[in-house]
Amino acid sequence: MAKDFFVEVLSSNKSLYQGKSSEVVLPAYDGEVGVLADHGDFIGLLGTGALKIVTSGNDYWFMLSKGVYHIENGKLIILAEKGDASSAVDISLVNSRIPELEEKFKDLNVFSTPEYKNLKLEYDQLKAKQEVYKRTNVVN
């Protein structure tokens, strides 16, 4: 049986998850990070992507974007600037906005650097929402 550890996920305006988990896969700034019980203490930068929390054999999915995560004494705390549970994803809005952004990205010369960064972040967040929706509603 997998060993459990405490996990808390907070976004800027709400608590997304608090409880035990046997496994977490989180979107780090430079890829994905897997966390199991007895993971060494660590502080890292959060990226934008899908968060998977495994509890009692069930997977729970969230979209997270930017922030930090901290593992200390067998506890994982995730502080995200933006986060949504899969149940909060409006998939029709997500699926309509992604092609709009992809069309805009065809001509990168029309963007200023800050504008491009903001649209790219929105695009990455939408793709993560699409992924958590798919993992929760299509795969299961």
DSSP code per residue over 71-124: EETTEEEEEEEEEEEGGG--HHHHHHHHHHHHHHTT-GGG--HHHHHHHHHHHH
Taking residues 13-30, report their average pLDDT. Answer: 95
- Return the structure tokens found at 111: 């963007």
Q: How far apart are CA 111 and CA 105, in angstroms?
A: 9
* Rounded alpha-carbon distances, angstroms, from residue 67 to 35, 36, 47, 58, 129: 17, 20, 7, 25, 17
pLDDT tens by residue, 84-122: 999 999 999 999 999 999 998 888 787 788 888 999 999
Q: Which residue has the higher pLDDT, 10 or 138?
A: 10
Amino acid 107: pLDDT: 83
* Rounded alpha-carbon distances, angstroms, from residue 27 to 3, 65, 67, 98: 22, 8, 10, 20
- Which is it for strands 42-55 and 75-85: parallel, antiparallel or unpaired? unpaired
Amino acid 1: pLDDT: 55
pLDDT tens by residue, 28-84: 999 999 999 988 899 999 999 999 999 988 999 999 999 999 999 999 999 999 999
* Model confidence at 2: pLDDT above 90: no
Amino acid 139: pLDDT: 62
